[in-house]
Amino acid sequence: MPLDYDAVMGLKQFGQRYSWTDREVMLYAVGIGIGADPLDERELAFVNEATFTARPLQVVPSFASVAAWGASPGPIEVNRVLVVDGERDITFHKPLPAAADITADVSVIGLYDKGKDKGAVIIRQTVLRDGQGEPLATLKASQFARGDGGFGGPSQGQPEPHQVPSRAPDRIIDIATRPDQALLYRLCGDRNPLHSDPEFARRAGFARPILHGMCTYGITCRGILQTYADYDPSAFRQHAARFSAPVYPGDTVTMELWKDGNVISFEAKVNARAVTVIKNGKTVLG
């Protein structure tokens, strides 16, 4: 059945309860590749609490993207085989703790019709709140439902993407992914078979399972963390990215970064396949 615009836009569920411990925090960090060098003390701070000299476990800011995995505004009937991540934009209100009991308030804030055979864009907002009801992070997530366009909804009004500078990048870094990266990252919550089942991936139009878009998002957060943020997660105020092409496990992701004051613009490419996988990236530090 076609999407019902008014019904979808009215969906919201507040007060959904979630929790995490240091196990989930460390698993996420390993899932986006942190700790590949077991002697890098800056990265070990995110994946190892068992140090000779006690130190607090650090939390990667983009852990917010999986902290309330499964939180939903309610059921939206779309063709799941053809759904991919479109964009993610997280505003950080305070640093995430290494363990917490939280609530998630989820609502649909946008639904756009790209046309029949062109898909639909669904935008959800999730506010993560601590035990006192104070916001920890606000997530805006867009999904591209490639098989659900033509339902008669609005086609205009989506937020304008951030424009990266036209000058040469100020920094370029390479971040390698592992052939089994998707199998590890899926343990953070996203069990979509698109990332683990070769037959499902082929039916969805891909040669083989692809890396989760949200893993790529975490990799770009890691890239900012290790460059302009000096491994300080409390420096992050916002991290936003637009997914433009899939990363395959084993690819090397090349990030191009531009610094203008406290705003870091970025894009990411897989040069071996001559594709841009992340566009319009923006991080605000403070």
* Distance in angstroms (rounded) separating the CA atoms of residues 161 and 150: 23
Residue 24 in contact with residue 102, Cβ under 8 Å?
Answer: no
* Distance in angstroms (rounded) separating the CA atoms of residues 211 and 198: 12
For the question of residue 40 being annotated catalytic, the response is no
For the question of residue 190 being annotated catalytic, the response is yes
Residues 6+ apart with CB under 8 A from 233: 58, 59, 60, 61, 95, 96, 225
* Distance in angstroms (rounded) separating the CA atoms of residues 84 and 210: 11
Closest residue by Cα to residue 122 from 106, 151, 138, 143: 143
Closest residue by Cα to residue 183 from 166, 198, 202: 198
Of the residues 85, 89, 105, 195, only one is catalytic, namely: 195
Helix intervals (H) in 17-62 = 22-31, 41-47
CB atoms within 10 A of CB 116: 11
* Distance in angstroms (rounded) separating the CA atoms of residues 91 and 284: 9
* Distance in angstroms (rounded) separating the CA atoms of residues 161 and 87: 10
Residue 279 in contact with residue 256, Cβ under 8 Å?
Answer: no
Of the residues 85, 89, 105, 190, only one is catalytic, namely: 190
Active site members: 190, 195
